[in-house]
Amino acid sequence: MASIEPPTLASETIAHIGSFEIRNTLIMAWLAMAVVFVVILLARRTKFKEVPGRFQAFLELIVEGLFGFFDSIIGEKKATRRFFPLLATIFLFLMLANWMGILPGVGSITIAEELHGEILNLPIFRSMNADVNMTLAIALISVIATQLFGIAALGVLPYANKFFVAPWRDPIGAFVGILELIAEMAKIISFSFRLFGNIFAGEVLLVVISYLMPYLAPIPFLGLELFVGFIQALVFSMLTAVFLKMAVTAHGTSHECDSATGGHEHGHDEEHAVEMVHA
């Protein structure tokens, strides 16, 4: 009986272009991109008509549904329209990549590589989000975009006032500002490791189940992974939407809100987001 080979934390390098490593997760990212491009090509070929066909109606359903969902979080149509490409791409690209990660062949089609005199079977395909590089990349994009949109909406100084408050004027505000700054950094870690952890854990789970009971037993877990893939994409995009909304909201409004409600409203958006995630 073959021994179980759980996936490693780091993705495997399949080839090199100069010093650039082509890893199995990058190949999956390219495949996911290819699927997106094919969908776009098909959509462009059918042309967007006034009376939609089935394919166009399906695309409209997705785009309209996502727009409505993000608009319900952001609450302002114009802002939603501005953030929509980022949010929708995070959701669709992550979900597609997560779902592609459970396709047959992903993780099971291997290539023999010699490493330190030892022959290793490296999987050619591996779920894109089972690599911290990808999740970190999207987390960085999300957090940087949040800062940029915040600066664009409020201006550099008012936005910086969220984090930097003169301690002699408002010591508590200065402390909260530092915490906010740390929280911004923490967002990158929480975003990237939440997604990575869930997808990697799913991979491990499927490997273990497939090893223990190769037939029928993995089916419910495949369904579970489909669900996890959807939920993780949703959580990532929804939290980005919440952070974007918070970033473009003037700092004064939340202070006014705090003073009006005795401080109970502090971090209300975040709580709301967490509640929605739990729901």
**Residue 29: Cβ-neighbour burial (10 angstroms; 0-12, 13-18, 19+):** buried
**Which among 5, 60, 9 is positioned nearest to 196, based on CA atoms?**
9
Distance CA 36, CA 93 (A): 8
Site for other proteins in 114-133 (CB under 8 A): 131-133
Residue selected from 15, 46, 71, 84 as contacting other proteins according to rule CB under 8 A: 84
Residue selected from 5, 64, 170, 256 as contacting other proteins according to rule CB under 8 A: 64
Assess 85 for contact with other proteins (CB under 8 A): yes
Residue selected from 36, 178, 188, 224 as contacting other proteins according to rule CB under 8 A: 36
Give the residue with the Cβ less far from other proteins, 136 or 183. Answer: 136
Assess 55 for contact with other proteins (CB under 8 A): no
Give the residue with the Cβ less far from other proteins, 90 or 248. Answer: 90
**Residue 262: Cβ-neighbour burial (10 angstroms; 0-12, 13-18, 19+):** exposed
What is the length of the chain? 279
* Cα 35–Cα 131–Cα 147 angle in degrees, nearest 5: 85
The residues that touch other proteins, with contacts defined as CB under 8 A, are 8-11, 19-21, 23, 26, 29-30, 33, 36-37, 39-40, 43-44, 48, 50, 59-60, 63-64, 67, 81, 84-86, 88-89, 92-93, 131-134, 136-138, 140-141
